[in-house]
Structure 1
């Protein structure tokens, strides 16, 4: 059946009056129009507002026919990014920021050698291409394409977890992304990590979510922040985090480069919402430092290194039980 879209009901691509800041969102959301989905767009919008998200991306399976219902549901408190989950035979990927009504072909696999052409179509529209749930536990969900063709990797997907929003499949995706990070940074083109809920059912939205530094609350600015790696992933809106590295009078944050000029670098992470959790620092040498957080729920941890010792530093925060609470993209040291 051909996609039917009401041209007058597309959501605006910018929320007026929302300037530079950290914005929370979920870029992998399905309504009942997708297989396995049970929620209406109205329920999804209400759920996003209830937990305090600033943006969501609607990513129905292989269709754009709900793009046209989101105009009245967006507003001055919620940006709706148009997208699609492209469910190919050998892996799924997210096309974020596509044109209204745009549909990306999904009827192929890795042996057809056409994936790059479809990625280019999304980028020509100003969109972002995300490798989705690389280790999803079903045949077509296992991601067989190389990451280097994509802009971002979804290392944390909430759908296939049962009691907790973190499982072994996410751990495998994080490890795979982490192993490639050092080589990619050295080569000058690294792919940031992101996390999304893959919402299909009530109560899933925003678990986890991506927190992004954007110049404004608009599709272009949010995607630019994600593309640049100026983002981190949170289990929920209850968790807050900041990560900075400084050397002398210079400092840099997540997704940025710090010119150390040969001076020692002090890396500091501030965390709220993870009482008695643990913070670990990761570089191109693997996990290099670990400390516990206080029972009160808020704490700061500092660690010292240098550009000679560490090409980058990223942070993971885990709950007392060991499952992930937050993780960051790297600060790069030069």
Structure 2
């Protein structure tokens, strides 16, 4: 809050006098020692994918605000995973429900549930519930937010309770990471998980020490901390970075809309929005603000759980906002989200013992190929989407942090070096993590001295060729696949370790897109793909 606004809102004068803030007389007043406020309402299918704000006045002297909520299905039929009502909870303070400064937290549908017997979420000056932001409890108009993610056919009734209490304590000092930190000097392949939830994304997630321990066990070098919606960790991870100087802690967030999810890698102080479709909020504007703040912008699991049948099972997971964003400002896209080997539980289908290659990987790769053909230089990456709550080592290896990784060839283990390498496409995905996947080298050369690795472009004529060489380590018994403009054109048995293959590659004018002819490699076995490379492009001189 800017100083003049603060003075007016709190009734202060430049001479130091003060009066209690004037609160709207028509709003329910939340005050210490007073009875909690209670609000009730109903939602129908017409309300799905919208937001409902409940304003209330916070009285002077309040030091803690608590929220609890719940809902029940109307009618006799119980909800199913595909049809149940789902409501999300958020909170905005007196700085306003459209201001980044006013955002006090979001917990989706996982916390503060009266109907599940959970404790309320809370904010105080010195501390807050996971997913929420500590800070001064200013008197004025606050807003509780109900996100109406999904509604069952029969509708539902909801309840919201708000309680204000006195509490002591001062707001903690900010301690962000140093964005210029160099964890390791020198060019190398560095491994990261591009979609990691942590302390603020799940009530059972590990603390930061446990988070780092799991990341180290997965042999990660850089940690993309993409908490749901909130940026609270942007202010607090400095101590974690200093305690782990050999790793790179890279805070971001996941933008949860009801029409698709995206991530920003890097702090975005000018925007905390996620409510696409609410008032005039658009994801495209959020993207523009985030990119202006210096963050990478990523499209998450773009083809997961598509269509009306699955939208309640994984609400907003399919990315349907391609026309709203600027694809030229998309840096990365998840071509693999979650485990490469999916179970029936992962897919929400009743087939005991089922385990297949993640079906959404193939469709995500197809979409990625289409975007590349259209001329958008988007780097393919993977993300575990883990919350660090896997019950045992086997499940942690299958779907935990680093269960898939993206190897990035960068000049150093630093944010600037990684940003440059990621934007250049110097990367490939290892679908079974560092320990379980082959390694790849992919290099192409032209007689005039041009060289390229993953993501690079060689300029050659229509009848020229380039010499492409692939080296695979730890892949014996698998196969090497060559793709040209998204079409499989060759495969070879990997019968040695290390294994190398050389192939003359050229342009294919009938199928090449705006970036030229794309040559991409993969490896795989009978169960699934094990690596996925970003392409080398052959373009006109």
- TM-score past 0.5 threshold: yes
- Name the counterpart of 1:317: 523
- Name the counterpart of 1:246: 445
- Alignment partner of 1:327 is 2:532: yes
How far is 1:165 from its partner? 9.2
- Alignment partner of 1:301 is 2:501: yes
Residue aligned with 1:105, SS: coil
Question: For the aligned residues, what is the CA RMSD?
Answer: 2.5
- Alignment partner of 1:121 is 2:289: yes
Residue pair 1:110, 1:145 contacting (<8 A) in 2 also:
no
How far is 1:166 from its partner? 4.4
Q: 1:195 aligns with which of 382, 401, 405?
A: 382
Change (3 A) 1:323 1:37: farther
Residue aligned with 1:19, SS: strand
* Equivalent-residue separation in structure 2 for 1:303 and 1:111 (angstroms): 55
* Equivalent-residue separation in structure 2 for 1:171 and 1:30 (angstroms): 24
* Equivalent-residue separation in structure 2 for 1:133 and 1:150 (angstroms): 14
The 5-angstrom pairing of residues 169-318 of structure 1 reads 169-184=360-375, 189-200=376-387, 201-202=389-390, 203=396, 204-235=400-431, 236-238=433-435, 239-248=438-447, 249-261=449-461, 262-284=463-485, 286-294=487-495, 296-308=496-508, 311-318=517-524
Residue pair 1:26, 1:57 contacting (<8 A) in 2 also:
yes
Deviations 1:40-89 (A, max 9, x none): 22212111122221101111101012234422222321101110000011
How far is 1:197 from its partner? 1.0
- Name the counterpart of 1:130: 298
- Alignment partner of 1:155 is 2:155: no
Can you give the 5+ residue segments of structure 2 that lack an aligned partner in the other structure? 1-90, 92-103, 105-132, 136-171, 306-313, 344-354, 391-395
Change (3 A) 1:113 1:258: same
How far is 1:308 from its partner? 4.6
Q: 2:205 aligns with which of 32, 38, 45?
A: 38
- Alignment partner of 1:48 is 2:253: no
Change (3 A) 1:166 1:129: farther
* Equivalent-residue separation in structure 2 for 1:303 and 1:27 (angstroms): 32
- Alignment partner of 1:139 is 2:310: no
How far is 1:215 from its partner? 2.5
- Name the counterpart of 1:86: 255
Greater shift after overlay, 173-182 or 324-333?
173-182
Change (3 A) 1:111 1:15: same
Residue aligned with 1:325, SS: strand
How far is 1:182 from its partner? 2.2
Residue pair 1:276, 1:297 contacting (<8 A) in 2 also:
no
* Equivalent-residue separation in structure 2 for 1:300 and 1:265 (angstroms): 16
Residue pair 1:152, 1:191 contacting (<8 A) in 2 also:
yes
Change (3 A) 1:160 1:197: same
How far is 1:110 from its partner? 9.9
How far is 1:103 from its partner? 5.2
Q: How many residues align?
A: 327
Can you give the 5+ residue segments of structure 1 that lack an aligned partner in the other structure? none
Residue aligned with 2:297, SS: strand
